[in-house]
Amino acid sequence: MASIVRASRSRSGRAARRSARDSRAAARDAAAASRPRFRFADLVDETLAGVFARPARAALTTLGTVLGIASLVATLGISRTAGSQIVGRFDELAATQVTVAARTTGSGSAERAAALLPWDVESRIDRLNGVVASGAVAEVSNPGTVRTVPLRDPENVTERLVPVYASSVGLLDAVRGEISVGRWFDSGHVQRRDRVAVIGADVAAQFGIDRLDAQPGIFIGDELFTVIGILDAAARDEGLVSSIVVPYTSAQDRLQVSRPERVVIETDIGAAQLIAEQAPIALAPNGAEALKVTAPRDPTRTKNAVQDDVNQLFLLLGLISLVVGAIGIANVTLVTVMERTGEIGLRRALGASRRHIALQFLSESMAMGLVGGIIGATVGIITIVSVAGSRQWTPVLDLWLPLAAPLAGALVGLIAGLYPSIRAARMEPVDALRAGT
């Protein structure tokens, strides 16, 4: 009997529960539909009012975030600036030059190595993929004085000591030389062992040579050479502009030059490393290791090394400050929540839901983080500019940095505000009202 009663009661209880649940769900839906939204403009108002209610406290609270963001921005910006500075030195001219010379360390091996370098570098080097031009050059060791007329005139200084170089045909292109008057010698001159010379613009000025149609002659020591061209510029070897260059064959004949000292190669951009490996073998298959190759360093490696050196410590410091800043915001927001318990109760009584309360404190802590981020980014950028200014660098700033910094600050504030906001939202309105009186 008792069990039947219990069974029927439990069945009716289930039915009642179900109907209650249905009606509850319906009521909830209706309430949700009619539930008004907390306007964004109002949230902004409440947030600003809340933050500026205690301006000194808000300012001190944001300080940690300001320091963190400022050091992050400054570190990233300064290392970027410094990195660009170093990269800037790897200009196109330096990055495409390879020089091969005899190694000068060992006493006997230097001559042996010099003996390895051939004059006909163009036929050996220009075949390599990535070579633009190449040329061999040797300084004439003791050319004697240079003069334009065979007479020694004591009143007019017509004799000078001028460096003289013997070179192969390709040198002009390899050093990016420019001829202003006349021409550079060609392979015909070399084969015929013609006594021709190209003089640098400085030398031409010294000797008063500006026209070549009269085929002016020049004496190097006692050997007469015909001037066929004036070299106006040589980007890779400025010294050539104040020198005289003659074909290596006639230098061999008349100026006691035997072997080239170095080979200058112009490469395509990015090919320098490869050519630096291949050129010695192409020049001297039997003694490549005795040759010294000068090539530009790999620019990306340099940049990375610099950034690694500068960055790590400061990035770490910045992150630590940011964490400290976040803890500061969390702490102060928590204290604020406790102080404003009565206000939370009041707001709940006035119709604020838990979500509204959480949203308000979250947006207050986020606002403090955002302001910290904006000030921090400003301080960081000022630091970058002043450091760059003091070192006479060009400040380089990634565009995303000043945009991302305030967002990072806001994120810090958001994370910092999570726990205090949840605490605030969890307060029972009755307790909050009672505690806040």
Interacting residues toward another protein by CB under 8 A: 23-24, 26-28, 31-32, 34-39, 41-42, 45-46, 49-50, 53, 342-343, 345-356, 429-430, 433, 436-437
Smallest distance from the beta carbon of 351 to another protein, in angstroms? 2
Task: Name the amino acid, one letter, at 99.
Answer: T
Please give the C-alpha separations between residue 404 and each of 30, 61, 68, 317, 370, in angstroms, as whole numbers: 42, 21, 13, 18, 11
Smallest distance from the beta carbon of 76 to another protein, in angstroms? 38
Task: Name the amino acid, one letter, at 98.
Answer: V
C-beta closer to another protein: residue 239 or 351:
351
Which of 279, 300, 304 shows the shortest CA–CA distance to 289?
A: 279
Smallest distance from the beta carbon of 373 to another protein, in angstroms? 25
Smallest distance from the beta carbon of 419 to another protein, in angstroms? 20
Measured from the Cβ of residue 179, the count of other Cβ atoms closer than 10 Å reads 16
Smallest distance from the beta carbon of 359 to another protein, in angstroms? 11
C-beta closer to another protein: residue 311 or 341:
341
Return the C-alpha torsion angle 99, 101, 106, 111, nearest 10.
Answer: 180
C-beta closer to another protein: residue 147 or 356:
356
C-beta closer to another protein: residue 40 or 161:
40
As a whole number of angstroms, the distance between CA 166 and CA 142 comes to: 12
C-beta closer to another protein: residue 264 or 425:
425
Smallest distance from the beta carbon of 418 to another protein, in angstroms? 20
C-beta closer to another protein: residue 55 or 108:
55
C-beta closer to another protein: residue 54 or 103:
54
Smallest distance from the beta carbon of 44 to another protein, in angstroms? 11
Smallest distance from the beta carbon of 36 to another protein, in angstroms? 3
The CA-based diameter of the chain, rounded to the nearest angstrom, is 149
Smallest distance from the beta carbon of 50 to another protein, in angstroms? 8
C-beta closer to another protein: residue 36 or 208:
36
C-beta closer to another protein: residue 309 or 428:
428
